[in-house]
DNA sequence: AATCTTTATGTAAATCCTGACATATGGTAC
DNA sequence: GTACCATATGTCAGGATTTACATAAAGATT
């Protein structure tokens, strides 16, 4: 079973969805830290069905193409539950901006400053976007968030990782830009 | 040209290295945010040489197998310089633990707490390791770190991203474990 | 009338990456 | 003496992922 398979099962454990719906959901909290295109989702659904983790029924629609709505099976839910608390195999992190940083000494300081200011802005914008979603969740899900066994808490916790990640990234970008602009590094440490 | 190609050029812009040396260097600062196995490095070196970005000379060794030492060409250095300040194409983040978090509501709270405590420890250990390297760099490279156009600063800046990343991750893991253990989430926000 | 967007599901080619296989030398540990 | 480890360079199979190709129907826009 692939990680993408578990991502899909995680969505289907909350509600029945079509391949198209799943693709859309990838733009939400799940997709913040694991995403896929429809070209990967459709074959993966076929594999999941092969393995008995999901089943589908065809919904015939007038004025729209027919769709296949997938639901998780008992076996699927069981497999998902086991996977959740199993320690993940550490995978190498791939971050192109930080890799560029390793060769930043070769760059024109002004261009490098521009790069890190731009990236800082990108992450600040993402942070602001997440902040809005957080405010919405805290308003709409006030009670659900007091118990950690609700899907709402799980979505909230995933979002919190996103907020924390983006804040850290933006701060480091700012430190980088400031360091290069000032021409010094250790003074701001 | 691939990102791995630029990672290799980044290393060769500092010193001439063999494929084996490059594989070892992947355990250092470059590899914190982009790494590869030797099975990927040897073919990539061949491609880089094909493109005229690197050249090699064979060093014959007694008591050891011969080696090919690679050096960056003017074209390679030029390509690297251009790449450094070009904004990276945003790629989806893949983080299995945060994906598991999306389905944590299905898990036994005790097992979930154990998972996040374990992961917190992993990141705290990595943080401690980076901290030692940082202390060493600040001791050994005191003067080099005052100018941002030195390779030492670039290594230091990459390490700082590692420190910042691991601290953020550890803190979020702690928040997760505390939330699940306490059974509540919003009180600790 | 033509084009674009949304819904809806798929396939195919190419690339990236991991893990395993393969070979060779010399030193060290048992 | 034998097994393992570090040095040293490669290939290959398979899986993961992206980009592009492919089709189709209805509604909105120009």
For A22-41, give the DSSP string. Answer: HHHHTTSHHHHH----HHHH
Protein-proximal positions, strand D, CB < 7 A:
7-13, 15-21, 24-27
**CA gap A72, A49 in Å, rounded:** 9
Which value, in Å, is the radius of gyration of the alpha carbons in chain B?
21
Q: What is the pLDDT of residues A165-181, one digit of tens each?
A: 999 999 999 999 999 99
- What is the number of other CB atoms lying within 10 angstroms of the CB of residue B28? 15
Contact between A67 and A20 (Cβ < 8 Å)? yes
pTM for this predicted structure = 0.95
Residues 6+ apart with CB under 8 A from A38: A19, A20, A23
**Is A168–B172 a contact, with Cβ atoms under 8 angstroms apart?**
no
Residue B20's alpha-carbon distances to A112, B12, B17, B26, B99, in angstroms, are 31, 13, 8, 10, 35
C18 C1': nearest CA residue? B37
Burial class (CB in 10 A: 0-12, 13-18, 19+), B128: exposed
Residue A188 has pLDDT above 60, yes or no: no
**Probe site for chain A from B102, B115, B179 (most A CB atoms < 10 A):** B102
Whether the CB of A171 is below 8 Å from some CB of chain B: the reply is yes
Are B101 and A179 within 8 A, CB to CB?
Answer: no
Enumerate the residues of chain B whose CB falls inside 8 A of the CB of residue A144. none
Cα distances from B89 to residues A39, A95, A146, B6, B165, in angstroms, run: 20, 10, 38, 14, 20
Residue B83 contacts A where some CB pair is shorter than 8 Å? yes
pLDDT tens per residue across all 189 residues of chain B: 999 999 999 999 999 999 999 999 999 999 999 999 999 999 999 999 999 999 999 999 877 888 999 999 999 999 999 999 999 999 999 999 999 999 999 999 999 999 999 999 999 999 999 999 999 999 999 999 999 999 999 999 999 999 999 999 999 999 999 999 986 766 654
Does the CA dihedral B105-B106-B110-B113 come out positive or negative?
negative
Sign of CA dihedral A55, A60, A61, A65: positive
Question: Mean pLDDT over residues A129-146, rounded?
Answer: 96
CA angle A36/A41/A44 to nearest 5° reads 120
């Amino acid at each position: 079973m692939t990680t993408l398979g578990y991502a899909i099962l995680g969505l289907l454990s909350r509600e029945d969805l079509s391949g198209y719906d799943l693709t859309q959901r990838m733009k939400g909290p799940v997709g913040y830290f694991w995403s896929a295109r429809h070209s990967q989702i459709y074959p993966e659904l076929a594999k999941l069905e092969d393995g008995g983790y999901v089943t589908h029924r065809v919904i015939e629609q007038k004025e729209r193409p027919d769709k296949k709505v997938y639901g998780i099976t008992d076996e699927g839910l069981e497999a998902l539950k086991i996977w959740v608390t199993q320690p993940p195999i550490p995978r190498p992190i791939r971050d192109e901006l930080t890799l560029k940083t390793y060769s930043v000494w070769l760059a024109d300081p002004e261009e490098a400053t521009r790069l890190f200011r731009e990236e800082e802005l990108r992450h600040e914008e993402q942070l602001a976007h997440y902040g809005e979603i957080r405010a919405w969740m805290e308003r709409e899900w006030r009670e659900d968030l007091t118990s950690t066994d609700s899907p709402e808490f799980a979505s909230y916790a995933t979002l919190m990782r996103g907020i924390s990640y983006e804040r850290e990234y933006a701060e480091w970008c700012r430190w980088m830009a400031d360091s290069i602009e000032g021409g010094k590094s250790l003074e701001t440490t």
